[in-house]
Amino acid sequence: MSPLAHRRFLKMNGLGNEIVVLDLRGTTVRVQPREARAMAADPPSRFDQLMVIHDPETPGTDAYLRIYNTDGSESGACGNGTRCVAWALMEDHAMGRASGPDLLLETRAGLLPCRRIGEREFTVDMGRPRLNWDDIPLRDPFQDTRAIELQIGPIDAPVLHSPSVVNMGNPHAIFWVDDVESYDLARFGPMLEHHPLFPERANISLAQVTASDHIVLRVWERGAGLTKACGSAACAALVAAARKKLTGRKARVTLPGGDLLIEWRESDDHVLMTGPVALEWEGILRPELFAGAA
């Protein structure tokens, strides 16, 4: 029997981004990719990202997070999911209530400080963006990652071209368009996610700048597909827009699920993401769920 059987989970969302929070502190249990895929395929535990809470590894941190996509692959960061974890650790008594409005969470992408600023609203410090081509990473060297050579469609009339690339814990490619609804992202997304230029695959975004402080965004998320919201993509889009002088360093980013406030702080280059969380239900993982994953 899977060690995940009979364990409690929280089904949450951050701007409609489906999040499942699972607490494995006090154990040595690790979620296997096949188990994550089984959970993602079951309606009660369906997720865009699975946030698994482990005992802290670094002194001074509150917990270590492992983040899984629907295909079972691990992600370096998930801003919307991190806000959900912060709420769970601060509010949910069964997960151990944290004291004070601040948490420090660790992921494989680094440390993520979280601060509660409202009943169900949190700010996550997503750290510094990585902008060099080999940090994103890209297969080929590009000295200027504000616009790289990549296009979809005919050479003389490409449908999409010249994306900005940023790493915000995950690789992101942002295509600048006049109308995000005018493109079939479900068609282009998988092709671009797996493009040979991205050795670790990439999150693919369509970004429309409507004002110096407003970006409209749609995202094809690496390992998850079309999503209502992606916090790291919103951060990447703001950084890329500011680098291209399309916006300032602070903007509202509108995704299908709602708005995030993103600020690329000048004092230390850290990117701050502020947004809401919602608890939908809690459940218990059924043993039969993992029968086919054994």
* pLDDT for 293: 56
How many CB atoms lie under 10 A from the CB of residue 51? 28
* pLDDT for 16: 85
* pLDDT for 282: 94
Per-residue pLDDT of the chain (294 residues; tens, 9 = 90+): 889 999 999 999 988 889 999 999 999 999 999 999 999 999 999 999 999 999 999 999 999 999 999 999 998 889 899 999 999 999 865 676 666 789 999 998 889 999 999 989 999 999 999 999 999 999 999 999 999 999 998 888 889 999 999 999 999 999 999 999 999 999 999 999 999 999 999 999 999 999 999 999 999 999 889 999 999 999 999 999 999 999 999 999 999 999 999 999 999 999 999 999 999 999 999 999 888 654
**pTM of the complete model:** 0.91
Does the annotation count 230 as an active-site position? Answer: yes
Residue 110 falls in which region: left (phi positive, over 0), alpha (psi -120 to 50) or beta: left
* pLDDT for 291: 83
* pLDDT for 52: 98
195 touches 202 (CB < 8 A): yes
* The 3-state secondary structure of 9-50, one letter per residue: EEEEEECCEEEEEEECCCCCCCCCHHHHHHHHHCHHHCCCEE
* pLDDT for 157: 84
- Domain map (residue ranges) of the chain: 8-127+277-293, 151-268
* pLDDT for 193: 97
Class of domain 8-127+277-293: alpha beta
How many CB atoms lie under 10 A from the CB of residue 109? 20
86 touches 78 (CB < 8 A): no
Catalytic entry in 84, 114, 230, 235: 230
- Residue-wise burial string across 19-47, b where 16 or more C-beta atoms lie within 10 A, e elsewhere: bbbbbbeeeebebbeebbbbbbebebbeb
Q: What angle do CA 93, 21, 117 make, to 5 degrees?
A: 65
CATH 3.40.50.300 fits 151-268, yes or no: no
State how far the Cα of 217 lies from the Cα of 184, in Å rounded to an integer. Answer: 14
Does the annotation count 235 as an active-site position? Answer: no
Catalytic entry in 78, 84, 114, 235: 78
Q: Which amino acid is at 265?
A: R
Same CATH fold assignment for domains 8-127+277-293 and 151-268: yes
Instruction: Provide the CA 211 distance to its chain's centre, in angstroms.
Output: 24
* pLDDT for 155: 84
Between the CA of residue 89 and those of 52, 86, 116, what are the distances in Å? 12, 5, 11
